[in-house]
Structure 1
Amino acid sequence: MTLTPNRDTLLRDLSRRRLLKAVGFGAVGVAGANVLTACAGGDNAANATVGQFTGVYDFDLDAQTRNVAVEDGALLTNSVYVDLFLTSSAFYNWATHEWDYLLVESSTWEGDDLIVSLRPGLKWSDGTDLNADDLHQNYAIRALEAPSWSVGFPQITELEKLDDLSVRARFDAPFPGIELQVLKHRIFSKSTYGDFGERAIELFGGGVRQGDDEHNEFNAEFIAFDPDEIICSGPYKFDPGQLADARITLVRNEEGYQGTEVGFDEIVVHKGDNRQASLLIQQGEVDYSTLATSAADQQAFQSVEGLRSVEHPGYDGCGLMFNYRKKPELKDVRVRKALAHLLDSDQIGQVARGEAYGRVDHYAGLVDLQAEQIFSADELAGFETYDLDHDKATELLEDAGWTKEDGIWLLPDGEEAAFEVIGVVGWGDFELTATQVEEAWNDFGIKTTASNVPSDNPWGIWAAGDFEVAVRHWGNPEIPGYWGAFQMNYLVENARTEENPGQDFDLKVDSPSQGEVDLEKLVEVAKTAPSEEEQIEALKTMSIVFNELLPRIPIWTYKYLAPALEGVRVESFDDGHPAAQNQIYRDNHVILSLIQGDLKPVE
């Protein structure tokens, strides 16, 4: 979510029509040929073995550690391929909200206790047993390391190994869904981390928690730890003889989970960033990729025989976040609605993402897929929409006391209305969204300038409130619980302090239909209420308030079109998989299908 150095200047000079042409009908130039040669790692068609599955990811063999427990970018652990060698305990189905157990055989609540039991007979790639000692140590490390604001491990108060396969975790005031991160935890081996694990059990049992002096000492050693290899639990393991700068080969781990059931003997991961990945895909070198592709790349893919897209739904989108402290005129809901009515969301999405976007129909704060799961069609029919409508925008601004003189809109105090909209350098869809908002508002007579902030820490800029209007996400792709969307919309980058004001949006609001509402409290209710009915009631209230007050403007929703090559190495990809509604980077159904043995090689 990468552009040439002078792209900002170029984009400002392009008209809307030229933008559409530039991103919609581009072609890959011959300049990419040298990059492709460097990345391909040889002629895969000639060297391929029977049962080889190929992917692509921008790994760094030398810079990335093998310390998979730290979860900050160890080798391939941020890729969708990680479950193939370090399998999750369980897979969550985002559509049914049910668990598909992997390394774990079962999980059962007994009061405040969660009993987690591993499958019998599991082994690590070094031949040692994967058992409750691994689970106990892992949970102790995670409970010790987890930040207090996260959900799951910080709420564990006791841990106990029950037998060779089972561990008991007691929670403080558990609520539905609190176990998500615990059950999804990717277990790391006691062969590698046993010393840390035993220490963590002792520290945690003695009452030490994150931030205590004992934890800080532990944490410094834990982060600095640099093992020589990754010991694997999944159906594949690293082949030390096939680790190269251009490609990594994983081979079948027969004693690992599903090691004899998967259909492919090898997994090859080519090195490539977004652009290099697109070139590899066009050469037929990659069977499945989740890296971002441009509209021009999507056009070029059409010429690759056997290449299609696997569509993954998005649970977040791109929109505009306002700074209410710097631009107090935005506190007037009529102004926010008017600004939304000036945007052609379909056009902006098409330019920013090609076909890999979805329009916003309900403006509920949740993506439409989720809104349609908790609201009836009749209820959603009553939601206000904010499609392109200049007449409506004019009416709203005039009603808010704005006036227009010589084609320029003035605030009620007579000052010229003006906004700066920031994207992020290198985030192509954000940059393109910012420039189109700039053009749309300027065309209407509201002076607008688009610029981009550095990509190294836009989150810090947003949190500090160092912006007027920011292109920013809405919804939540990391938390399958509906409440995650409102945590993102209302709480993230909204501390409302002098040091970090963020949006500075007052969370105690007056809703036309709901009356006085404390949104911060409602987020907590939606997250922790003991019954689903109470959670849904809070969610519905927050959605209605979002629709009425439009605290930020959703413009488009992510839709992920993952290039998938059929008939070369992979027989076919299943669109009807039970987990096809899963989030692409959190619970990828293609990878689950591969692990389950349902993804088949060409015979």
Structure 2
Amino acid sequence: MVEKYQRSVTISRRRMLELTGIAGIGTIAGCLGGDDDDSDLLNQGLETVDVDYNENYEEEMNEAVPGGEINPYNGEHIFNPYHTSWNPGEVQETSFEYLAIYSTEQGEFIPRIAENWEIDEQTGATRIEISDEYGWSDGSQITSADFVTALKLSAYLDQGIETYVDPNDITTDGEYAFELQPREEYQSIERELWINQWAETLLNVSETHYSQFIERFEDAGDDEVEQIQQDVVSFEPEWDQALFSGPFVFIEANEEYADQIPNPEHPIAQDWEFYLRYGRAKDEAGLRAGEVDWRHNDPTLQDLPEKYDTPPVSYSGQSFALLFGPEDEYISNDPRVRQALSHVVDFKTLVAEVAPDTPADTYSCGIDAGYVEFFVKDSVLEAMTNYIPENRDRATELLEDAGFTQEDGDWYTPDGDHWELNFPVGDWFQQPSEMIYNNLNEFGIGVDYYIEEMPTWQAEVEDGSQYDISVHLNYGMARDYHAHADLQEELFGPTRGAVSERELFGNEVEVPEIGNPDGDMITVNFEETLNALSTAQNDDKVVQHATRLAWAHNHLLPGTMIHPWSEHYWVNAGEWNFDLESDAWLTSNRITHYFLEHGLEPQ
């Protein structure tokens, strides 16, 4: 098929909070605003789904024990991808199926429900055919109407695809094909970028449950759209009311544990002879590469092959990044200050201590280091500043050039004030953030440093205006597989966009000439160059525009990213056979793909 993909973005969590009336960091996810009677009315059509399964599964099937905490009992997880209690991790990976899945090893899409697609070279009109062998967990057929519902809903909730296609131009063509027609101004959209908008669609909404919202959106006036969006994010199907398209189905959830069995309507999973039991070992580390400072701070299991000790065995795609906020005027106004701070931090030692042997981004150019070489000229990559090794001499030079002075080991601003930074950190990152604090403190930069308890998604989307520097999740940035997607998110993303949200610099900037850090200054217009990248007609043009943007990012926003996780989820992994040579470990949703390619067998 094709070579790259862009992860479907999820609705901004801050936008969710606005729609549902939630405020405050400590708010429990899922506490919805609005009238309780309206919520009851919205959810009154939900019924318990009847799944046809073997009730003797515990006696007749083998048990795999995940190390996660995925028990949806009593509304702990809501099966609506736009709800604040949605779990986008293990639940998503095992419960829902993809149109296609990108293989990082093979550099191409592997079909799942998709059979084939065709794209008109002149207009971009696209027709996707799907398999007739997949069913929902209640026994009903998965059809093109389900994918049209999913894509339309994404567009109506401003997830990004609406930029390129009007939701009215996403239509069915019979039961097993659907069509998309790009907007007129995007008929010349760069081919891979277009494919990336829909190829890895995760079928986590059904026509049965969500067509009610599509019908309302299609009939709505401008003043009615927000209310419908609010109703979507307030829709609350629980584990026994949801329809599952993926390889596993929840059939039991209680205070003690939850069970997923192979989906009897899934053409591959229906033949498996094992089930997943969550909750029995929820605080134990599962199969994992290396020791990490994360939820499971336990040693690597001793009975696993050595291959699992180094990533990317089942690399999860998460990263954490050093981020800059707009509150400190010197950080906000002068790229030399941001560069200096990155040089002060000893990322090399940080990685060695917190997550040995895991990758770090040596380019800091806004495109994920895993595939940046496909988009940026080699000579420019070689000329980029590497912020991973500590370089205090360079940091000192940059700060002095920016007007800072040092007295008795402490740094003072150009205005003569003692320099102190506000450094709040989510509790996921206590160990690496302490190391960063120590680096800054030893260098003479005052730091108001404190740890905040922070749910997973807040570690990803915490408001960037509330800190001078911080360390947060960059969840998913390692899974976009396209320069435009990465840079658009970094510069203009709805949560932490450097231009649109944090306002660290404007849309038009001055940077040294491309590939020459000591060269004359040139002007880069981010919007114009991103637009040119989105409509580039050949690979040379893609590389030209992406290289220009990446070079500017390296100069202006050296928010170095670290990739500390490589994990899987079974604490009883030693009891199972694994195909160690399989490329299935190297795909963008490793857990599900490995299952689908191989299943598991007891040793």
Q: What TM-score bracket applies, with the shorter chain setting the length? A: 0.7 to 0.9
Measure how far apart 1:373 and its partner are.
3.1
1:147-166 matches, within 5 Å, as 147=158, 149=160, 155-166=166-177
Q: Is the 8 A contact 1:52 1:569 kept in 2?
A: no
Q: So what's the TM-score if we normalise by structure 1?
A: 0.74
Distance across 2 between alignment mates of 1:126 and 1:517: 54
Measure how far apart 1:83 and its partner are.
4.7
Structure 2 residue aligned with 1:64, among 75, 81, 95?
A: 75
Q: Structure 2 counterpart of 1:332, which letter?
A: D
Structure 1 residue aligned with 2:549, among 542, 545, 556?
A: 542
Q: Structure 1 counterpart of 2:340, which letter?
A: A
Q: Is the 8 A contact 1:57 1:271 kept in 2?
A: yes
Q: Is the 8 A contact 1:134 1:188 kept in 2?
A: no
User: Which residue number corresponds to residue 102 of structure 1?
Assistant: 112
Q: Deviations over 1:133-190 (max 9, x none)?
A: 43444444444x3216456786433243322311222221253333435333333676
Q: Deviations over 1:417-441 (max 9, x none)?
A: 32222212x22x2x33332222222
Matched residue of 1:552: which SS? coil
User: Which residue number corresponds to residue 301 of structure 1?
Assistant: 300
Measure how far apart 1:595 and its partner are.
1.4
User: Which residue number corresponds to residue 268 of structure 1?
Assistant: 276
Structure 2 portions without partners, runs of 5+: 1-57, 515-521
Greater CA drift, 536-545 or 442-451: 442-451
Q: Is the 8 A contact 2:529 2:545 kept in 1?
A: yes
Q: Is the 8 A contact 2:346 2:390 kept in 1?
A: yes
Distance across 2 between alignment mates of 1:328 and 1:88: 45
User: Which residue number corresponds to residue 143 of structure 2?
Assistant: 131
User: Which residue number corresponds to residue 594 of structure 1?
Assistant: 595
Structure 2 residue 130 is matched with structure 1 residue 118: yes
Structure 2 residue aligned with 1:343, among 330, 342, 345?
A: 345
Q: Structure 2 counterpart of 1:340, which letter?
A: S
User: Which residue number corresponds to residue 488 of structure 2?
Assistant: 487
Distance across 1 between alignment mates of 2:561 and 2:141: 50
Distance across 1 between alignment mates of 2:206 and 2:410: 67
Q: Is the 8 A contact 2:331 2:338 kept in 1?
A: no
Q: Structure 2 counterpart of 1:525, which letter?
A: A
User: Which residue number corresponds to residue 522 of structure 1?
Assistant: 529
Measure how far apart 1:534 and its partner are.
2.6
User: Which residue number corresponds to residue 420 of structure 1?
Assistant: 422
User: Which residue number corresponds to residue 434 of structure 1?
Assistant: 433
Distance across 1 between alignment mates of 2:142 and 2:526: 44
User: Which residue number corresponds to residue 553 of structure 1?
Assistant: 559
RMSD of the TM alignment (CA)?
A: 3.8
User: Which residue number corresponds to residue 403 of structure 1?
Assistant: 405
Structure 2 residue 203 is matched with structure 1 residue 187: yes
Measure how far apart 1:522 and its partner are.
2.5
Measure how far apart 1:479 and its partner are.
2.4
Q: Structure 2 counterpart of 1:572, which letter?
A: F
Distance across 2 between alignment mates of 1:201 and 1:398: 58
Q: Is the 8 A contact 2:82 2:232 kept in 1?
A: no
Measure how far apart 1:105 and its partner are.
1.3
Distance across 1 between alignment mates of 2:585 and 2:553: 28
Measure how far apart 1:48 and its partner are.
7.2
Closer, same or farther in 2 for the Cα pair 1:247/1:73, shift >3 Å?
farther
User: Which residue number corresponds to residue 9 of structure 1?
Assistant: none
Q: Is the 8 A contact 1:338 1:392 kept in 2?
A: yes
Structure 1 portions without partners, runs of 5+: 1-46
Closer, same or farther in 2 for the Cα pair 1:64/1:529, shift >3 Å?
farther
1:82-97 matches, within 5 Å, as 82-94=92-104, 97=107
1:93-492 matches, within 5 Å, as 93-94=103-104, 97-110=107-120, 111-143=123-155, 145-147=156-158, 149=160, 155-172=166-183, 173-174=186-187, 175=189, 176=191, 177-187=193-203, 192-193=208-209, 196-197=210-211, 199=212, 202-203=215-216, 208=220, 212-213=223-224, 216-217=227-228, 220=231, 223-224=234-235, 226=237, 228-239=240-251, 242-261=252-271, 264-271=272-279, 277-279=282-284, 281=285, 288=287, 293-294=292-293, 300-304=299-303, 308-309=308-309, 311=312, 312-313=314-315, 317-324=319-326, 326-328=328-330, 331-351=333-353, 353-355=354-356, 357-375=358-376, 377-386=378-387, 387-424=389-426, 426-427=427-428, 429=429, 431-453=430-452, 455=454, 457=458, 462-463=463-464, 465-473=465-473, 476-492=477-493
Matched residue of 1:477: which SS? helix
User: Which residue number corresponds to residue 39 of structure 1?
Assistant: none
Distance across 1 between alignment mates of 2:225 and 2:384: 53
Distance across 2 between alignment mates of 1:555 and 1:222: 31
Residues matched between the structures, number: 523
Q: Structure 2 counterpart of 1:92, which letter?
A: Y
Q: Is the 8 A contact 2:79 2:237 kept in 1?
A: no
Q: So what's the TM-score if we normalise by structure 2?
A: 0.74
Q: Is the 8 A contact 1:234 1:256 kept in 2?
A: yes
Q: Deviations over 1:393-420 (max 9, x none)?
A: 3333333333322222233333323222
Q: Deviations over 1:283-315 (max 9, x none)?
A: xxx5x5799953896663344566945634475
Closer, same or farther in 2 for the Cα pair 1:70/1:476, shift >3 Å?
closer
Measure how far apart 1:592 and its partner are.
0.9
Higher strand share: 1
Measure how far apart 1:516 and its partner are.
0.5
Matched residue of 1:553: which SS? coil
Q: Deviations over 1:68-91 (max 9, x none)?
A: 35443677x533354544322221
Q: Is the 8 A contact 1:568 1:602 kept in 2?
A: no
User: Which residue number corresponds to residue 5 of structure 1?
Assistant: none
Q: Is the 8 A contact 1:108 1:114 kept in 2?
A: yes
User: Which residue number corresponds to residue 64 of structure 2?
Assistant: 53
Measure how far apart 1:546 and its partner are.
2.3
Measure how far apart 1:561 and its partner are.
3.8
Closer, same or farther in 2 for the Cα pair 1:109/1:435, shift >3 Å?
same
Distance across 1 between alignment mates of 2:295 and 2:69: 20
Measure how far apart 1:501 and its partner are.
5.4
Q: Structure 2 counterpart of 1:385, which letter?
A: N
Q: Is the 8 A contact 2:337 2:399 kept in 1?
A: yes
Distance across 2 between alignment mates of 1:215 and 1:51: 47
Matched residue of 2:560: which SS? strand
Q: Is the 8 A contact 1:572 1:599 kept in 2?
A: no
Q: Structure 2 counterpart of 1:163, which letter?
A: G
Q: Give me the identity figure in percent.
A: 14
Closer, same or farther in 2 for the Cα pair 1:290/1:595, shift >3 Å?
farther
Distance across 1 between alignment mates of 2:294 and 2:228: 49
Distance across 1 between alignment mates of 2:416 and 2:492: 33
Distance across 1 between alignment mates of 2:370 and 2:567: 17
Distance across 1 between alignment mates of 2:399 and 2:146: 62
Q: Is the 8 A contact 1:462 1:502 kept in 2?
A: no
Q: Structure 2 counterpart of 1:595, which letter?
A: L
Measure how far apart 1:537 and its partner are.
1.6
Measure how far apart 1:270 and its partner are.
1.2
Q: Deviations over 1:216-250 (max 9, x none)?
A: 358627843547523333344333xx433332222
Closer, same or farther in 2 for the Cα pair 1:130/1:335, shift >3 Å?
closer
User: Which residue number corresponds to residue 502 of structure 2?
Assistant: 502
Q: Is the 8 A contact 1:358 1:558 kept in 2?
A: yes
Q: Structure 2 counterpart of 1:183, which letter?
A: A
Q: Structure 1 counterpart of 2:396, which letter?
A: T
Distance across 2 between alignment mates of 1:59 and 1:389: 43
Q: Structure 2 counterpart of 1:541, which letter?
A: R
Closer, same or farther in 2 for the Cα pair 1:87/1:178, shift >3 Å?
same
